């Protein structure tokens, strides 16, 4: 993966080029099997400072999505080589079933409500995505991992919405399972 990304104009804000390059260098080392302290989950939690004239955020985010997919497929291949395809399928099925359990909760109660004044995601928006995920997991409804990664929700405050961090972590797990399926 190239660490040379399109930059925004010097008047616009983009990701800090040094931080992005350093992160991707470490990711490359890990992918090549030389840094066991780095995993695919590090990609989902990556964040970078911003700077004027930095890397275009959209382009870097898309590259991180591809990198995350590559790590998920590598983990799948490693698991199959170590334990066999049947064991890998069983583990993936277990993970999908665990994710599906949350989806089966009543609409409006799938995630914890935000605390008073805390930024939150609109429950209706999140529940609509959850309904699509139910159709994906149970009926084979077509849906891509990018549909999950690019999901955007209106903002709310407090108990009117779901806690952002909980929703984000859940969707990261969903994307990881989806990316593991070739």
Cα separation of the two ends of the chain = 20
CA pair distance 7, 9, nearest whole angstrom: 7
Q: For residues 49 and 95, state if they share a domain.
A: no
Q: Is 174 a residue whose pLDDT tops 50? A: yes
Percent of the chain with pLDDT over 90: 54
pLDDT in tens, 21-68: 999 999 988 888 877 788 777 887 889 999 999 999 999 998 998 898
Q: Is 77 a residue whose pLDDT tops 50? A: yes
Q: Is 133 a residue whose pLDDT tops 60? A: yes
pLDDT at residue 32, as a whole number = 86
2 — pLDDT class (breaks 50, 70, 90): very low
1 — pLDDT class (breaks 50, 70, 90): very low
Q: For residues 93 and 36, state if they share a domain.
A: no
79 — pLDDT class (breaks 50, 70, 90): confident
Domain that holds residue 70: 13-80
pTM, two decimal places: 0.73
182 — pLDDT class (breaks 50, 70, 90): low
Residue 21 lies in a domain: yes
Q: For residues 55 and 137, state if they share a domain.
A: no
More reliable by pLDDT, 107 or 159? 107
Q: Is 137 a residue whose pLDDT tops 70? A: yes
Q: For residues 24 and 67, state if they share a domain.
A: yes
Of 31, 49, 80, at which residue does a domain stop?
Answer: 80
Mean of per-residue pLDDT scores for the chain: 90
pLDDT at residue 3, as a whole number = 58
Mean pLDDT value of segment 140-162: 91
Residue 1 lies in a domain: no
Q: For residues 164 and 91, state if they share a domain.
A: yes
Q: For residues 112 and 126, state if they share a domain.
A: yes
For residue 59, give every residue at least 6 positions away whose Cβ sits within 8 Å of its Cβ, in sequence order, or none.
5, 6
| Block residue for tokens 């806690």 | 163
129 — pLDDT class (breaks 50, 70, 90): very high
* Angle between helix 85-103 and helix 123-139 axes, rounded to 10 deg: 140
Nearest residue to 148 via CA among 180, 101, 109? 180
Q: For residues 52 and 18, state if they share a domain.
A: yes
């Amino acid at each position: 993966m190239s660490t040379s990304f399109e930059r925004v104009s010097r008047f616009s804000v983009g990701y800090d080029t040094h931080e992005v390059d350093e992160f991707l260098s470490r990711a490359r080392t890990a992918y090549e099997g030389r840094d066991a302290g780095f995993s695919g989950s590090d990609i989902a939690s990556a964040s970078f400072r911003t700077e004027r004239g930095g890397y275009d955020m959209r382009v870097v985010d898309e590259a991180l999505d591809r990198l995350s997919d590559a790590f998920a497929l590598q983990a799948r291949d490693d698991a199959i080589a170590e334990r066999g395809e049947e064991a890998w399928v069983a583990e993936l099925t277990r993970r999908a079933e665990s994710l599906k359990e949350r989806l089966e909760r009543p609409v409006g109660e799938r995630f914890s409500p935000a605390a008073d004044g805390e930024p939150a995601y609109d429950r209706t928006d999140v529940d609509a995505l959850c309904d699509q995920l139910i159709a994906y997991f149970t009926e084979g409804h077509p849906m891509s991992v990018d549909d999950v990664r690019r999901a955007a929700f209106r903002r709310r405050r407090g108990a009117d919405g779901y806690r952002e961090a909980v929703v984000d972590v859940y969707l990261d797990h969903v994307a990881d399972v989806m990316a593991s399926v070739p």
